[in-house]
Amino acid sequence: MEEQRQRHQRIVLVPCPFQGHINPMLQLGSILHSKGFSITIAHTQFNFPNTLNHPNFNFLPIVDDFSNCNVSSVNFIDVISGFNSNCKAPLQELMAQMMEAKE
């Protein structure tokens, strides 16, 4: 019964869109998928994974609006802060839509 319940659980992974973060998150998703979880990758438009390499995952873009954030900024803290600010509301909306669709 527990195994059957686990097979219907969804995990949403939100990788940081910078080099070195997306591939490990996809690898984690593959491991979790092999354990029976349904995987959704919420990704930014700034840097998104190749969906063809992971046909069992559901990919949902988050509007990141990086035009309002200077990605080439020397101050990495400002870039991360801009990323967090720009993606917070779209991610919350995406999660709410997923929960409504589940009901």
The Cα 36–Cα 5 span in angstroms is 10
Q: What is the pLDDT of residue 70?
A: 56
Quote the mean pLDDT of the chain: 82
Higher pLDDT, 17 or 94: 94
Report, as an integer, the average pLDDT of 62-83.
Answer: 70
Question: Is the pLDDT score of 1 beyond 50?
Answer: no
Task: Output the domain CATH number for residue 64.
Answer: 3.40.50.2000
Task: Give the count of domains, the chain.
Answer: 1
Question: Is the pLDDT score of 64 beyond 90?
Answer: no
Q: What is the pLDDT of residue 63?
A: 79
Higher pLDDT, 47 or 72: 47
Q: The domain containing residue 35 runs over which residues?
A: 2-102
At 73, the pLDDT band (50, 70, 90 cuts) reads low
Digit-coded pLDDT (tens) for 21-58: 889 999 999 999 999 999 999 988 777 788 888 999 99
Alpha helices in 35-102 (DSSP H): 76-102
Whether residue 63 contacts residue 92, with contact meaning beta carbons closer than 8 Å, is answered with: no
